[in-house]
Structure formats: C-alpha cells, structure tokens
Amino acid sequence: MIRFVCQVVNKRIPVVAGTGSNCTETAVYLSTEAKKAGADGLLLVSPYYNKSTQKGLKVHFSEVAKAVDLPILLYNVPSRTGVNITPETIVALCKEYENIVGVKEASGNFSAIASLSGGSVDIYSGNDDQTVPMMALGAKGVISVLSNVAPRQVHDMCAAFKAGDVAKARQMQIDAIPLIEALFCEVN
C-alpha cells in the first residue's frame, strides 16, 4: 500500500508511513521497507500492549532511528496503546536523534512538551477536537482522522489559522465538533 501511494503521489506531497509496532524488530523492518517503497517519513506509535518503561521506549525508538534515515514522528496515544511517552522522553529522543523530529500528540501533554523543548520538537495535534487550541500554543498542525472524510475543511481550518484568521479557524473547529464526535462514537 505504501509503495502504491508513493507512486500515485509521485513526490507532490510527503508520504508519512505508519510503521510502528509493539515489537522493535518488526518496527525496524516495517520502517526499512517503507523507505524502500518511497516513504518520505515515518509515524511510530508507542509499543502497545507491552507497557514499556520510559527507558524501554527510548531503546525501542532509538533502534528504529538508527536503522532508517527518514524523519520520524513519534505517536503518543496512551488511550489506545496503554503507554504514555512522557514529555521528557519525547524531548530527549528528539535531542539525541536528528531524525526523530517531533510527535503526534494525543495525550494532553502538549504544553509540557512545548515548554521542555523550547520549540525544538515539532508537535502535531493527534486529537481533531484540539487542533486550533494546540496550534494557538505552537503546534504545526494536525495528523487527522477528520481529514479522511473532510479533507478540505481540515486544510482550510489550519490554513486560516496560519494566515492569522484565528476567528475563522476557531469557528471551523467548533463547527467540526459534531462530525468529530460522530467519527469517534464507536471504538475504531
């Protein structure tokens, strides 16, 4: 699928491949295969089910970072994985590994990451209902579920915010809440 998407996109936009796994060896394999397929970056979810310590998370993510020279975004979604990547761990990984560049943040720890990193970590909202508030505090944008069904709406909301029309972006965020709630009415 990644190879197909890369061929269709043909470098017009970056392709970020989700290659995370609860098995480090599998995450490394999937990441190297995504690079071979033409991916421009990787999204690595925290290892689910294993309940890793912060030290274990550092080892896991560092193995992937050492194996693949693509930009990596960590994906912190403890409500789904049962594991929280602490702000300290996120910042430490981004400082230690040049290719770990940021995080898709869905835990509510955004402010702490921004404060600890001093802007050195690219932060993306992982919660569609918090896109504009997080951008107001420095997030680059959103890696979105909503954009799968309303791509123009999400694009225009982020573009309005970046253009300085905060009132328009805020209203678009508020208007999107019913659809966001509907998208998450069932687990997965």
55 is catalytic: no
Q: Check 35, 104, 140, 162 and give the catalytic one.
A: 104
48 is catalytic: no
Q: Is 109 helix (H, G, I), strand (E, B) or coil?
A: coil
Residue among 63, 70, 61 nearest 93 (CA): 61
- Asked if 73 and 99 count as a contact pair (C-beta separation under 8 A), the reply is no
**Angstrom distance (rounded) from CA 70 to CA 11:** 15
User: Cβ neighbours of residue 169 under 8 Å, at least 6 residues apart?
Assistant: 132, 135, 157, 158, 160, 161
Q: Check 48, 75, 124, 140 and give the catalytic one.
A: 75
User: Cβ neighbours of residue 122 under 8 Å, at least 6 residues apart?
Assistant: 73, 101, 102, 103, 140
Residue among 133, 131, 151 nearest 141 (CA): 131
- Which residues are designated catalytic? 75, 104
